[in-house]
Chains A and B, each alone.
Chain A
Amino acid sequence: MPLGLTVVLLVFGVTAVVGVVGYLIDRSAARNDRREGR
């Protein structure tokens, strides 16, 4: 695999994982807020 592509994939891959984890946590918080009427 070309060097540039490896770098881009790794950086974007880790960033995407962070984004997905953050989104899932936020979604559960949103669900909880609705339940508690916030």
Chain B
Amino acid sequence: MNLNLAHLHLLINHFPTIGFIVGLGLFAFALIGRSDELKRASLVIFVGIALMTIPTYMTGSAAQEMICVVAQKSPNAPCANPNVSRAVIETHRDAALLALVFMEITGAAAWLGLWQYRRSSRPSNPTLLTVLLLAIVTLAVVSNAANLGGPIRHPEILSGPDAAAATQPAGAQTAGPQTATGVRLGLDSGGLGKFILGVPWMWPVCETLHFIGLSLLMGVVLVIDLRMLGVMRNVSFATLHRLLPWGILGFAVNVLTGMMFFIAAPEQYTQNGAFHWKIAFVLIAGANALYFTMFDETWTLEPGEEAPLTAKFAAVSAFFLWAAIMYCGSMLPFLGNAF
């Protein structure tokens, strides 16, 4: 049995729901017990889950392409396998997109909370309250998306006698549900994709914004990395730390515009090796950004002081990670098969 993106989706699709329940529970305990350490830990969980949700959504699109093969590319064409309902899959996909939007907003607010924690000796209550409210709403929409995903069948992961049973003629087995049960709360991914592809200027606008976001992000990454490696040694890290939100804003623009591309033409990306590497590097770079956001080694760095070896390693790895992300993004048509 070869591991494919549908397997990966089944593996990681529990992270957003279960992880968020753990994160929210911990956050509630932290607020009640007034524990700053627990608050910081739960904010890290929110940021981590927000990052993990991106590949969860993307592998979901890949799984959709695998289990619902259609004869012709028509909006209403049913899946070739009569036991798989296109309507159920698309309802789940739309709910997942809404969950992704809320998850990323909550992750951004949680990151802001972590950044403020590092800068201030006391937490910012409005930020924590915003995170709490967003997290409650996010848990509701992500649970709904998970609930709507449950009825979808996954015959592609079966092997041996189970696979034979799944490939029996339609009449010989019980058909899967053909309509989704649950609250149909979601964003119309199909309509959004058509809008991005159908309006001539939408794709170039997203491309331009993607590069503006990248410039913002890479600018901040370079300045911090160079300081860690010994350039501008007369600048304290606390001063550079103030630049981090600009880099994260650039990253947010890139996630937004990148998701627009993905939603418009998911098949260009799901089967693209260069894109798989790009997303893997983005996840590692996210962990790297957390290091510079909240760890002590860099925060205590005064003007004139040399950065510790850990910080230098983090700086070099950040540079290579973002360079690799840019390389994989640029190589989508050449190493992969996009466009």
Chains A and B belong together in one complex? yes
Contacting B201 at CB < 8 Å: which of A3, A22, A26, A33? Answer: A3
On chain B, the residues within 8 Å of A15 by CB distance are 209, 212
Query: Closest CB-CB distance, B334 to chain A, in whole Å?
Result: 27
Check if B253 sits within 8 Å of A22, measured CB to CB: no
Check if A14 sits within 8 Å of B249, measured CB to CB: no
B333 within 8 A of A: no
Contacting A38 at CB < 8 Å: which of B201, B212, B238? Answer: B238
On chain B, the residues within 8 Å of A33 by CB distance are 119, 238, 242
Check if A26 sits within 8 Å of B245, measured CB to CB: yes
Contacting B249 at CB < 8 Å: which of A3, A6, A22? Answer: A22
Given that A14-B253, A18-B253 are known contacts, is A3 also in contact with B209, CB under 8 Å in the complex?
Answer: no
Check if A18 sits within 8 Å of B120, measured CB to CB: no
| Distance between Cα atoms of A29 and B253 in the complex (Å) | 22
| Distance between Cα atoms of A31 and B106 in the complex (Å) | 25
On chain B, the residues within 8 Å of A22 by CB distance are 245-246, 249
Nearest CB in chain A to that of B200: its residue: A3
Check if B205 sits within 8 Å of A32, measured CB to CB: no
On chain B, the residues within 8 Å of A7 by CB distance are 201, 204-205, 208
Main secondary structure of the interface of B (DSSP, over half): helix
| Distance between Cα atoms of A21 and B216 in the complex (Å) | 13
On chain B, the residues within 8 Å of A6 by CB distance are 201
Contacting A11 at CB < 8 Å: which of B112, B116, B205? Answer: B205
Given that A3-B200, A18-B253 are known contacts, is A36 also in contact with B121, CB under 8 Å in the complex?
Answer: yes
- Chain B's interface size range is 20 to 34
Query: Closest CB-CB distance, A30 to chain B, in whole Å?
Result: 8
| Distance between Cα atoms of A29 and B205 in the complex (Å) | 32
Contacting A18 at CB < 8 Å: which of B116, B200, B201, B216? Answer: B216
Query: Closest CB-CB distance, B235 to chain A, in whole Å?
Result: 13
Query: Closest CB-CB distance, A13 to chain B, in whole Å?
Result: 10
On chain B, the residues within 8 Å of A36 by CB distance are 120-121
Query: Closest CB-CB distance, A33 to chain B, in whole Å?
Result: 7
Check if A26 sits within 8 Å of B242, measured CB to CB: yes
On chain B, the residues within 8 Å of A32 by CB distance are 116, 119-120
Query: Closest CB-CB distance, A4 to chain B, in whole Å?
Result: 9
| Distance between Cα atoms of A32 and B200 in the complex (Å) | 45
On chain A, the residues within 8 Å of B112 by CB distance are 25
Per-residue interface assignment for chain B, residues 198 to 219, with 1 indicating a CB less than 8 Å from any chain A CB and 0 otherwise: 0011001100110011001000
Nearest CB in chain B to that of A10: its residue: B205
On chain B, the residues within 8 Å of A18 by CB distance are 212-213, 216, 249-250, 253
| Distance between Cα atoms of A21 and B317 in the complex (Å) | 28
Nearest CB in chain A to that of B245: its residue: A25
Contacting A29 at CB < 8 Å: which of B200, B242, B249? Answer: B242
On chain A, the residues within 8 Å of B116 by CB distance are 32
| Distance between Cα atoms of A25 and B108 in the complex (Å) | 13
Nearest CB in chain A to that of B199: its residue: A6
On chain A, the residues within 8 Å of B200 by CB distance are 3
Would you list 18 pairs from A and B whose C-beta atoms are within 8 A, ordered by A residue? A3-B201, A7-B205, A10-B205, A11-B205, A11-B212, A15-B209, A15-B212, A18-B212, A18-B216, A18-B249, A22-B245, A25-B245, A26-B242, A26-B245, A29-B119, A32-B119, A33-B238, A36-B120
Please give 4 more A-B residue pairs, beta carbons under 8 A apart, in addition to A22-B245, A25-B245: A7-B204, A11-B205, A21-B249, A29-B119
